[in-house]
Structure 1
C-alpha cells in the first residue's frame, strides 16, 4: 500500500505539528486554531516566506521543533492515514489550513502565548516581570495575579524667572504593564503588547 504522507504539503504539516506540539493533551480545537494563527502572524511579521524557514531560524519561538516534543514528532512522521484516524491530529491539520488561509483567528490578534509554566514559574516569568493584564477574567485560566511595572517618562525644561533658573518637570507618558491577554483556550493564554507600551516605547508588535 502506498504511503500518502507526501500528499500533505510540507508547510501545512509543519505548522500543524507545531500547533499540535504546543497545545495541551486535551486537543482543544480553539487552542490549536489560536496557536496556528499566532505562528503565521509571527512568520509574516518577521518576514519569512514559509513556516519551515521560520521554525528553523527562530528556534526559541517554538521549542517543540527542537526539544524532542513527542506530539510534534508524532505528527511530523505520521502518514495521512494515521492522521485521518486521529481526531487531535486532524484538528491540527484543520487549524494549520485555517491559519495559512487567514481564516478565523481564535487568538484574537495575539503574537504570544503561555502555557502552565506562567503559573509554575510565576516569580521568575519574563512576562510577569514587565507586567501582565487580563482584559477578560475568563482569560485567567491559571488563577494568577496580574502584575505591574510602572514606567514614566518625563521631560525636563530649564526656565529662567527673575534671574533664577528652575527645572520644570513634565510627564510625557506612563504605562504599567507590557502584555494584554487576548484569549484563553485549553491550556494556553494568548497575549499581545499593551498599545500604550507599543506607542510610547516605539516598539514593534512582536519582539
Structure 2
C-alpha cells in the first residue's frame, strides 16, 4: 500500500522539485529541501505552508505556474512512487523535515542556470560571489568582488568641545560564498566577514 503524503511533505517536495534542475539529482533535491526548511525556521514559521503563504517571493515556483511544482502537487501517491524524480523529492522533504543530513552544508540561498545567462545583471554577482571550492563553479563563471568599507561615527570631547569622527569599522569584498553544488544548482551562504561587519542576519 502506498504511503499517504501529509500536506507539509508534499508542499516541500514540490518546491524542491520545482526549484531543481531537470536532472533529478538526489543531492540537489536533498540540499534544496534542507535550505527551504532552514529558511522556514530562520523566518519563524511553524510550517512550510505558512512559510509559502507569507513569503510569496522567496520561491516563485509556488505561484508562477512551474510545471514541476504542479506535477507533484497534483500527482497521486501512486504516481509519485513510480517516478524516480518525484519520489526522490519526497524522500528529500522527509529528510529535511526530520532534521536529517544537510547536503547544502548550511546554505541559505541557491542559484540555477540564470546566474550564468544573466551574469552581468545578477544580484549576487553585483554584490560579490566567491567559490569556497572550485568544484562548486558548475557554470564556469568568474568570481566577483566589490569592496565595501563600513564606517561608524564616534563622538569625542576635546576640552569643552564635542566633535564627531568617522572611523572604519570593517570591510568586505563579497557577500556570498558557495557551500555546495549539485545538478544545476549552486548553494550559498553569507560571507562571515560580511555578517560580522554589517551585523546582517544569516538568512536575508
| Same topology, TM > 0.5 | yes
Return 36-45 or 151-160, whichever deviates more: 151-160
Query: What TM-score comes out, normalization by structure 1 length?
Result: 0.90
Aligned match of 1:189: 186
Aligned match of 1:85: 82
**Which of 131, 134, 148 pairs up with 2:131?**
134
Alignment of 1:1-207 (within 5 A): 7-154=4-151, 170-207=167-204
Determine if contact 1:151/1:174 at 8 Å carries over to the other structure: yes
| Separation in 1, partners of 2:11, 2:18 | 10
Deviations 1:81-132 (A, max 9, x none): 1011101011000000000011010100000000000001111111011100
Larger gyration radius, structure 1 or structure 2: 1
User: In structure 2, do the counterparts of structure 1 residues 17 and 157 end up closer, same or farther at CA, with 3 Å as the change threshold?
Assistant: closer
Deviations 1:7-31 (A, max 9, x none): 2100000000000111111100000
Q: Which runs of 5+ in 1 are unaligned?
A: 161-166
Give the count of matched residue pairs.
200
Deviation at 1:153, TM superposition (A): 2.6
Q: Which runs of 5+ in 2 are unaligned?
A: 158-163
Deviation at 1:173, TM superposition (A): 1.2
| Separation in 1, partners of 2:8, 2:174 | 35
Deviations 1:60-89 (A, max 9, x none): 111110000111101011111101110101
Deviations 1:130-175 (A, max 9, x none): 1000000000000000011101134577999xxxxxx987533110
Deviation at 1:56, TM superposition (A): 1.7
| Separation in 1, partners of 2:179, 2:156 | 45
Return 170-179 or 138-147, whichever deviates more: 170-179
RMSD: 2.2
